[in-house]
Structure formats: C-alpha cells, structure tokens
Amino acid sequence: MSWDTVTLDVDDDGVATLTVSRPEKLNSLNVATLEALEEAIAEATGTVRVLVLTGAGDDAFVAGADIDYMKELSTPEAQAYAELGHRVADALETFPAPVIAAINGYCFGGGCELALACDLRVASERAVLGQTEIDLGIVPGWGGTQRLSRLVDDETARRLVFFGERVDAADAYELGLVGKLVAHDELDEHVAGMAAELAEKPRYALSVAKEALNMVHEEPQSAGLEYEKRAWSGLFGTHDQREGMSAFVEDREPQFE
C-alpha cells in the first residue's frame, strides 16, 4: 500500500520506520493522515520486529492535530475525529512489538499523544513537547489525559494540561516524559541502534512482555500477576526459550526466530 502523507519502510532485519510526511504543515494530523497511519500500522502488524515512528523534516515530529480542519467541527464530527485518533494511538500501544518514538522536533497536542502511546521515546535536543490543547479551548482528546500521568507524576501532568506548557527536550527528560535525550544529528543513528538490538531479541517473548507491561495500567495487580505467571510458563517449549537458554549454558550467541 502507498499513502500521500505517510511512508512505511521495512529493512531486512524487520525494523519498520513509519514516517508522518507533511513537513509543510509540521506533520500535523488531518483525517487522511490519521487514516493512513491506521492502515500502515495494520500492515506492519505481525510482520515486523520493531516499529519506529517519526516525522519528516528537521522541524517536527508531529506538531498536533490539524487545527484548520478542526476549527469548524460539530460535536458529532469532533467525536468521529477523536475516535480515529484514539484508534491510531491504541494501535501503537497494543502493537505486538516494541514501538519507538523518534522525536525530532515539535511534538504537541495529538503528536505528543501518539508519542505517549509508544513504548519508548527518544528525543532530539531540539525537540519541544507539550499537551497544548487548552489554549485552543479544548483538552487532549487522543489519550493524553490518561497516558501522561503514567509517565510523570499527577501534579506535573495536571500542570502540563492546565497551562498547556511547552517543555524543551532537557526538561522533558528530567520529567520522565522521554526516556533518552540525544544530539539532534545523532537521533537517527541512536534509534537505529536501539531498533537493531531489539530486532535481535526473541519476537514472541517481546510481544508477551509488552502485553504484560501494558496490563499494569489496565487491570488490578492480581490480574496482571496471574497473566504474568501464564505468560512466563507459556514461553517454555518455544524455540526461542530453548535456544536462549541453551546458548547461555553453551556460552554462545543465541539464534532467535
């Protein structure tokens, strides 16, 4: 499949790079772009080992939703737009492989919400992040009110949403909004290295680990612990479990499927 504002590139190691490509609009998300993202994520599901999400150009990761499109929406139209944005964010969060956000510039509003839905966030020193919706007379609508406070403390999340604060990459790192901060010209190389290392890990075990970690935010601890027991024991007898443990005992590099 091909799209006008989204590209999906998969290398020989199973690392897929999903790029929002509207640099003239700072990669803002209109309906067509969100629909393309949804289709591209579905296409990558089950076929890649790692997914990297980024934005085209040097200025923006994703600067947010398309305000020119939103400004005249009715309530039913806004509801449909919110549902579409939630589907894309949910698809990233539940994608059966690690998802890395390579934040190369402005990351506001809906763009920040997509980054929050990823497993790992690496920011360029030029990046600026924020849930900036309050100054548009609205609130985060694609998961930001729920996911933000899972990364930062509750009061910080409230401050970011109430004031619509924009935080630079260094402050975002200190707050825990991103997990790694790198020089701008090192971002692609650093993320590529992370993705390559993850691609060498056992695919099924990573998928199970991600699902178990996600349950921390969705179920009571007792349910998560019960799932973890089943998931852990269910990995025994798989090729990757046998290979990983044999390689450890034999002091060699494992060859995972």
| 129, β-bridge pairs | 107, 167
Q: How far apart are CA 4 and CA 138, in angstroms?
A: 29
The residue from 113, 186, 226, 228 that is catalytic is 113
In terms of Cα–Cα distance, which of 79, 121, 71 is closest to 101? 121
Question: For this structure, is 83 an active site residue?
Answer: no
Q: How far apart are CA 143 and CA 190, in angstroms?
A: 27
Residue found under tokens 């909004």: 177
Question: For this structure, is 133 an active site residue?
Answer: yes
The residue from 35, 43, 77, 133 that is catalytic is 133
Catalytically active residues are 113, 133
